[in-house]
Structure 1
Amino acid sequence: MASLIDGKRGKILVHGGFRYHKNKETAIAIYWRCWRKACGASLKTNVFDINEETPVIQVLHESHHLHVEDEEKILKDRAMHRLKEAVREDATRPIKRAFDAVVRGRHQQGGGDREPLPEFHSVRTLMQRARSTVVPPIPQVCADVRIEGEWANTWLQERFLLHLDNDWGVAVFATDETMQRLQRCHDVYIDGTFRTCPSPYTQFFTIHGKYKQRVLPFVTALLTGKIIGHYR
């Protein structure tokens, strides 16, 4: 059964223990060549969308290879492919958490020993690059800030963005539950920092409350110099 995985130079087709890269496409077929230049073996499949997540691939013809199967390399490529997919599936999830989820899944399926994953530090950059393909670019000015869809919700798909005003340069985040708890707090603590604030904002602002003998964060906000100067 043929399948597609990610490679350093684009999609790789895997079939029968060998790897192929796309050679050409016609109206009736896609032609593939063995990844090893010295081999020259070819493969012919039906026409399908190479960017589709799970395309239906039919092998119409294949020729003989001049080398043994690429099993070890294929196992490594599939492991890298799974790590990239884990990041793309939920770009809001921390990269280390996505890596750990892949590791747990492989061991639960009994494939951890056969397909060992590399150490996290060696694939951190690769996973960051994969996430950058699905994460919106960071705006340079507040007028370009758009927080919509999953980016406006928590990981549990609850509303998180309470207010966004690009004219004043302010974005306020809290859930309905945290706002209700904050209303029941008698002691409230407010603080702000400039050091860890993401662009294009200039201050990271937080509101904590003493709730059931614990001080908890309830509201966070991103502010710009315009609104900060207004309240001084």
Structure 2
Amino acid sequence: MYSDDVASIFHFSISTFTPYNISKRCLKWKNFFLKKGKPLLLHESHIYTVERTTTTKLIFRFQNRDCKARCHTNLSMNVFLSLLTIHCHAPHPDRVPALQLKNEIKTRTVMTDESPSSIINSALRTYPLSAAGELPRSDGLSLTIRRQRTTETVDVNGRLPEKLRKMYRDEDFILHEDKKLIIFTTKTNLSILKQNKHWFVDGMFKVCPDDYYQLFTLHAMMTNAIIPLVYGLLIGKSNGDYNQFFEKLFEQDNFQPESIMTDFESGTIKSVKGTLPNVLHKGTF
């Protein structure tokens, strides 16, 4: 592409280029940030991320690292400071609605107490059919909501606020809380657990907040159904991680289960056999 072609695209003369206002051609989503808190820049269906920041400007590069296109703006992101470099591909306008969808979901998550399904359904009402190919998966959107609420709801010490520490019956829901382990349960749940002699445990990893490794759950049989009674956020899956979970649990009461069923995770098995040596252990996939 020749210089005259470049100039015609951006509607200015290269020989007389000066910084120009981009407020009508460049959009910054104030409430949409990447994981590291860096803003995105959208220009003519191209999405840029911050590559570097100086004392006077921001240097953006195209989101797809296969393309070397870059642009420089002032710190307010309303003026281009240099000529935009050329892309080696066509724009991808369908990606823009997908990012706008995530941005709207994040905003509603922070501003309301709506359920994840309600937030997602509301946001999808205005999603264009033409961009259906870029529509994020529903489980991915749910994960975005969980992570956003985790980010926004902890206090400066990383502790959950009071409104999340109680059940609707005003029962305490936090049994133990530190940087390595959080255990969620109630006195009612522990009473049910004590009455049941057959326990079941499970570990889930994809639903866990970023600061923890897994959600570890303890279940019991109730009215012909297996229900979760104790939830633990663990930072790992070692023998010691599970030991701490069971130690904190057994500090609450004299539990005497007769059997416990786990998967074949080695750390779980070692912990169960060590902390519950007289309990029948069963494995399941």
Normalised by the size of structure 2, how large is the TM-score? 0.41
Normalised by the size of structure 1, how large is the TM-score? 0.49
In terms of Rg, which structure is larger?
A: 2
